Amino acid sequence: MSVTGSCTVVVGCQWGDEGKGKIVDVLSEGVDVIARYQGGANAGHTVHVGSEEFVLHQIPSGILHPGTRCLLGNGVVLDVEQFFQEYDTLAARGIDVDGRVGVSRRAHVLLPYHRLMDRAAETSAVEKIGTTGRGIGPAYEDKAGRRGVRVADLTDAERLGGRVGAALKRVCSRLEELGQEAGDELDRHMEAALGLGPRLLALATDTGPEISTALKAGKRVLLEGAQGTALDLDHGTYPFVTSSNTTAAAACTGTGIGPTAIDTVVGVVKAYTTRVGEGPLPTAFEPEMDEHVRQLGGEFGATTGRPRRCGWFDSVLSRFAAQVNGLTGLAVTKLDVLDTLAELKIASAYRMPDGRVEEGFPADTWSLGKVEPVYETMAGWQTPTGKVRALGDLPVNARRYLDRLEELTEAPVRWVSVGTDRSQIIAVDG
């Protein structure tokens, strides 16, 4: 499947886990360069190719397409140890990675003390955020505090030693305040991580110029994010968000290209809604239904294995995501998970705590936790869709459901996924 235009952004439009990895994998056919623009190893993209399953955390899923150049942009916080575990695992499984993976010299490096601080802070916090404990937040804190370590810093041993030494002092002091200690394990991990520096530098590149050169040469570029719009640091359900900007605008700052280079923005949504971690989920199912859909959809985190909370499709959120990302099209995933349900609901608005009905997504996270969704009810199709490959072959009620999602989101449906395999995709002519 080809991508329209020379530069496409793929962005999640819910709370992450929308199935972006599969959509990126499908859209990667015929693409020359794929770049990840934010996040870290807290993301998990699961892709099924035939009987094989690949779970990717930092390397773009386009690596599964031979010849594609895969980049990690300056907006990423790179967990060096995990990155090379992933890199070597792909190579061991027969995926050609040599010369195909590049890392921005401007990308910040996530080091073992970031993971230690993340776990310690979450454990001691009165108000839990529900982090993965992978060190993403502390790494972005160091970046914003202008005390981080970038890939470029690995070229100067003296400068690197000074920055790391200062960081370790800060970490040990903070751990002491929290009643914890670093222990010998930190020293071992630090030695292992910094020992990978020369290997990382061999992959270093300037992603902005590389992508710009590819575009000027008429090549096709795909930019992918991690997490989803509702986890964006500015536009999500703050403070229950990630530590970076997940929306389409971050594709520019996170790779080093300008906004006029982007032609297409594809928003990925599940046919229902899920959320992992803390924070409100307005359309959450009752416990019995929650467990039922979780099992039907295999709703467990690809990175942590944590069970995801499930709920009905929230068009208030998807409409907000269409606006903030400037979507040109939607990819709807996991439609097949709804195949057996007799009745479906879609939240078209929220009834606020004061009784007002709002169609906009509120900035006040605390109000969001108290809203009552205004639902529309539609009949299910109760027919298997996993083998369908054309929109016209879907059950009538499934097409009606997709039409209503399109109307309420105010973005056209361009792709529909009806299973985990890369072949289980329906392309909708626009």
Torsion angle of the four alpha carbons 302, 305, 311, 315, in this order, in degrees rounded to the nearest 10: -30
- List for the chain the helix, strand, coil content (%; round to 5): 35, 20, 40
Grouping H, G, I as helix, E, B as strand and the rest as coil, residue 85 is helix
Residue type, 144: A
Give the residue from 424, 341, 393 showing the smallest Cα distance to 415.
424
* 45 is annotated as an active-site residue: yes
Catalytic option among 45, 57, 108, 114: 45
Helix segments in 132-254, DSSP class H: 136-144, 157-177, 184-195, 197-201, 207-216, 250-253
DSSP code per residue over 363-395: S-HHHHTT-EEEEEEEE---S--TT--SGGGS-
Residue type, 191: E
* 393 is annotated as an active-site residue: no
Grouping H, G, I as helix, E, B as strand and the rest as coil, residue 252 is helix
Q: In whole angstroms, what is the distance from residue 16 CA to residue 337 CA?
A: 17
Q: In whole angstroms, what is the distance from residue 260 CA to residue 248 CA?
A: 13
With contact defined as beta carbons under 8 Å apart, do 9 and 248 qualify?
A: yes
With contact defined as beta carbons under 8 Å apart, do 171 and 187 qualify?
A: no
Tell me whether the omega of the peptide bond preceding residue 353 falls within 30 degrees of 0, making it cis: no
What is the β-pairing status of strands 329-333 and 264-270?
A: parallel
Q: Give phi and psi for 415, each to the nearest 5.
A: -140, 145
CA distances from 282 to 92, 128, 346, 348, 375 (A): 43, 19, 12, 12, 11
Length of the chain in terms of residues written: 430
Give the residue from 130, 127, 141, 162 showing the smallest Cα distance to 42.
130
Catalytic option among 17, 32, 290, 336: 17
Q: In whole angstroms, what is the distance from residue 135 CA to residue 362 CA?
A: 29
| Per-residue DSSP letter, 300 | B
Q: In whole angstroms, what is the distance from residue 134 CA to residue 150 CA?
A: 18
Positions marked catalytic: 17, 45
